[in-house]
Amino acid sequence: MNSNVQNAFRYLATNKIQQIKESNRQNIIHKRLQYNIKQIKNILQDNNLTIATADKSEAMVIIDKADMDQKNNNFISENNIIELKKDPTTTYHKRTQQLVKKMHKHNRKK
């Protein structure tokens, strides 16, 4: 084999080896992150904790599940929120479609 072909093969082999090394490095980092996430989930579960967003910000807080349930129940009772017996989404959707069709027919007549 001439030297140009040998150099081309060396270059391709070197690039492939570097890709494999980088892939392995990323895989190790990914596995560490997965392990850490699993550990955090276990700690939260063992201590009856949950992660929630704080108010309207993007901040996250760790809160006891019982405290969170109590805060949610207080919010519901203080704001006179009632549970709907049926999801109104399909009814609203049908009404909206009917209005759009009606408007479309009305505009075609003009």
The torsion angle over the Cα atoms of residues 50, 51, 53 and 58, rounded to 10 degrees, is 180
Using a pLDDT cut of 90, give the percent of the chain over it: 45
**pLDDT tens-digit readout, 19-41:** 888 888 888 888 889 999 999 99
Residues with Cβ within 8 Å of residue 21, at least 6 apart in sequence = none
**pLDDT tens-digit readout, 69-85:** 999 999 999 999 988 89
Domain boundaries, the chain: 1-46
Q: Compute the mean pLDDT over every residue in the chain, rounded to the nearest whole number.
A: 88
What is the band of 45 on the pLDDT scale with cuts at 50, 70, 90? very high
**Measured at the alpha carbon of residue 77, what is the angle toward residues 52 and 70, in degrees to the nearest 5?**
40
